[in-house]
Structure 1
Amino acid sequence: MDIFKDLQERGLVYQHTDELALRKRLEAGPLTLYCGFDPTADSLHIGSLLPILVLKRFQLAGHKPIALVGGGTGLIGDPSGKASERVLNPKEVVDQWAYKIKQQLEQFLDFETEENPAIVANNYEWLGSLQVIEFLRDIGKNFPLGTMLAKDSVEARMSKGISYTEFSYMILQSYDYLKLNELYDCEMQVGGSDQWGNITVGIDLIRRMSVDQVKEIHGLTMPLVTKSDGVKFGKTESGTVWLDAEKTSPYKFYQFWMNTDDRDVIKFLKYFTFIPMEEINELAEGVEKEPEKRRAQRVLATEVTKLVHGQDALKRAEKISGALFGGGLRNLSAAEIEEGFSDVPSATIENPEIGLIDLLVLGGVVSSKRQAREAIVSGAIYINDVRHTDVETTVPQLERLDGKYLVIRRGKKNYYLIKFS
């Protein structure tokens, strides 16, 4: 497999060191490469999914990936892409987050294969034991100040202010590359396009520290993912889309990909799935000729949800989607109802002997009994997919889902979940 050609066809190559030398090295046999992931939260989000999958693509092509968890650099904070200083988190918190991120990374890479098993490393192992004098004498002297100031990640922050702590981040990341080269013969670093400056500085450090031997070191960046509508990728009305199922449910994750704009769906299929390019090209024709069928979006949602959350979670997400958009709420379990309506207004009702008008007010569906009557009479109120137009309806007359839920819809899109204690 020509991994470089595949990455180019999928639009995953943004910048790289000498192409001829890199291609020649990739053709010569397996190499070891790495990508870093700083623990800035207790889960990675889908913005991190692209570099993870690039590591996976290299592994499938026979190369050996290292997923580096930034237990050390996570204590400092990368200024790249940030307009202001990061909040420094306590070491205990960063340690916990680093452990959880390590577990997430292990979902995607193969650590059991005999030929090219992946590695998860934590840079606190070497950064945590550094001595200041030793670090400044042996490492710091290799970083010309002018070169550091010229890097995009630093230059962009100079007018707004940058601390020495964040200014030193590129030195620590460069040291990571040096250590991984020494420990695992790592020859390439990959990352987002905002990491190009840090990557090239790391390459320079390795060459400066290896004057007695010529080392061929490489770097490659992928584009930062953007959406055609201008909304930041990975963001929704309810917040960030996380890889952790406890933070973003598989159903919400599935729906994020289903809602992909026609202008973005083919690009995302190339980026986030392992579907052959021939099939993606066929899906592209479908987007042009029959966009209303949203077949490309369905394939994208299916493939990425299965990849991140597994087959069982995918089936549950598809079931919930079918029930919510196809009329089948009665087929959902309590857990599926909770998952499908986790981000809609909800209320718990203790008295089940009330009328529909009072239910709408107590449930926050309307603000007054007058509005409740108007909504009912106008046919705007649906309960468990059934329209109710009788103002005399009482709660005991309503069939509850799983014995304790009512899903109320006002109009076309406003949903509310009522629970009975």
Structure 2
Amino acid sequence: MSTVLDELEWRGLVAQTTDIEALREALESGPVTYYCGFDPTAPSLHHGHLVQLVVLRHLQLAGHRPIALVGGATGLIGDPRMSGERVLNSRDIVADWVERLRRQIARFLSFEGENPATMANNLDWTGELAAIDFLRDVGKHFRLGTMLAKETVARRLNSDQGISFTEFSYQILQGMDFLELNRRHGCTLQTGGNDQWGNLLAGVELVRKAEHRTVHALTTPLITKADGTKFGKSEGGAIWLDPEMLSPYAFYQFWVNADDADVVGWLKTFTFRSRDEIAELEQAVVERPAAREAQRALAADVTTLVHGASATESVIAASHALFGRGDLEALDAATLGGAVAELPATDAELGTTIVDLMIASGLVTSKAAARRAIAEGGAYVNNVKVTSEDAVLDAADLLHGRWALLRRGKKTLAVARTAVG
């Protein structure tokens, strides 16, 4: 039987660790209290955070005790980026984002049972901390040479923008989190993305110096596509976990559109399917690539993990309905709105001819082409075949009083939008 560390390694979720054998022994010998921090630098978590949430869940399922830390303090500062200072958000905005992130994180962990999760906020121990105490009790353990050698800091120091003392101090604040959680909860492991390795080591060293205890760090690799490009909706884009920032439909579509070269790796990283199940899906990619079984399994699992089973059922129904394999009118407004949001669109008024709408939406390039599509039985409004080139958009065509789905042939879609309703 593999250990949880073996499982994480098999799933591609381990990049670097402190003494790996010592970590393995700690994980095998009894429940370990561990944590991962999430800074509220946006109103939602994204795909990068999803990797950390999956790791937290794997470790909890293996019997260990998770702490999810939302950085109400570090979020006021911001981890230095490779280029340029962050814009400091107001305290009210950060506090609001803290609550949003706490709600998102909570659905991934169990707060009951023998190893319940704990939610923490580092503003609890930094908010009232006096500057002189911070410098004497924490700052004295940090060496300037080590801090200056950090890659992000070094690059910023050599740039035209430089780096402020505020952002330079971030690594001290994050290190202090590990120290406080060690003191308060006996926390001995911190997890995070590989870009946080320097910050994680700062915490490990601070605990060693201040408490004379050995603690551990584990990072996950940066997730990229097989071709080496960034993992995201677009170059540098984020796959947001908040349904108001990225609809469940668009979220599902991202995963279902995974390349064959990526899908097996993503099944290991982002789902909890067994090795046997993933092996079967890997075989399906080889033998029946057109069926996209692995992609559909990936999309269903990750959408359910993030948005729930009901949302997944709705977006699958919407996917079918858009192409005539389901009932468009049965879709609720939010699901339908998400489903058509990424389609080519045109604003429309009642009485506009379908021919003109097909041209305006980009389904065809000319009236002749639109009329030909209608004559050949290849033009549809809401999956109903258009039989006359004189047909116009009617109020009865509007789904939820707002949208009419246009289709040419089997797969070319667009949407007509109206302000009516």
Q: TM-score, normalised by structure 1?
A: 0.90
- Can you list the C-alpha shifts for 1:366-414, whole angstroms capped at 9, x where unaligned? 69xx955233124275422355474322334985546664212367545
Equivalence for 1:167: 168
Q: Is the 8 A contact 1:153 1:194 kept in 2?
A: no
1:332 alignment partner AA:
A
User: Against the structure 1 CA distance between its residues 119 and 293, is the aligned structure 2 distance closer, same or farther, given a 3 Å change threshold?
Assistant: same
Distance 2:398 2:89 in 1: 46
User: Against the structure 1 CA distance between its residues 85 and 414, is the aligned structure 2 distance closer, same or farther, given a 3 Å change threshold?
Assistant: farther
- Can you list the C-alpha shifts for 1:170-211, whole angstroms capped at 9, x where unaligned? 11100111111111010011000011111111111111112x
Distance 2:287 2:346 in 1: 44
Please say if 1:197 is aligned against 2:191: no
- Can you list the C-alpha shifts for 1:325-352, whole angstroms capped at 9, x where unaligned? 35435453351322311233555645x3
Q: Which moved more, 1:175-184 or 1:328-337?
A: 328-337
Equivalence for 2:102: 102
Q: Is the 8 A contact 1:238 1:343 kept in 2?
A: no
Equivalence for 2:155: 156
Q: Which moved more, 1:65-74 or 1:306-315?
A: 306-315
Equivalence for 2:368: 374
Distance 1:227 1:46 in 2: 13
Q: Is the 8 A contact 2:225 2:231 kept in 1?
A: yes
User: Against the structure 1 CA distance between its residues 348 and 254, is the aligned structure 2 distance closer, same or farther, given a 3 Å change threshold?
Assistant: same
Equivalence for 2:256: 258
Identity of aligned residues (%): 47
Q: Is the 8 A contact 2:355 2:389 kept in 1?
A: yes
Residue 34 of structure 1: how far off its partner (Å): 0.5
1:314 alignment partner AA:
T
Distance 2:218 2:172 in 1: 18
Give the SS at the match of 1:155: helix
Distance 2:109 2:384 in 1: 47
1:181 alignment partner AA:
N
Residue 279 of structure 1: how far off its partner (Å): 1.4
Equivalence for 2:279: 281
Q: Which moved more, 1:94-103 or 1:155-164?
A: 155-164
Equivalence for 1:365: 361
Distance 2:397 2:356 in 1: 17
Distance 2:352 2:139 in 1: 73
Distance 1:399 1:67 in 2: 48
Equivalence for 1:241: 239
Q: Is the 8 A contact 1:44 1:244 kept in 2?
A: yes
Q: TM-score, normalised by structure 2?
A: 0.90
Give the SS at the match of 2:405: strand
User: Counterparts of 1:20-419 in structure 2 under 5 Å?
Assistant: 20-79=21-80, 82-113=82-113, 115-160=114-159, 161-210=162-211, 214-236=212-234, 240-335=238-333, 336-346=335-345, 349-350=348-349, 352-359=350-357, 364-365=360-361, 372-379=366-373, 381-386=379-384, 388=386, 390-396=388-394, 399-401=397-399, 405-409=403-407, 413-419=412-418
Distance 2:189 2:118 in 1: 14
User: Against the structure 1 CA distance between its residues 251 and 177, is the aligned structure 2 distance closer, same or farther, given a 3 Å change threshold?
Assistant: same
Give the SS at the match of 2:323: helix
Distance 2:288 2:353 in 1: 46
Q: Is the 8 A contact 1:85 1:162 kept in 2?
A: yes
- Can you list the C-alpha shifts for 1:248-279, whole angstroms capped at 9, x where unaligned? 22111111110111111111111111111121
Distance 1:347 1:249 in 2: 20
Q: Is the 8 A contact 1:70 1:98 kept in 2?
A: yes
2:37 alignment partner AA:
G
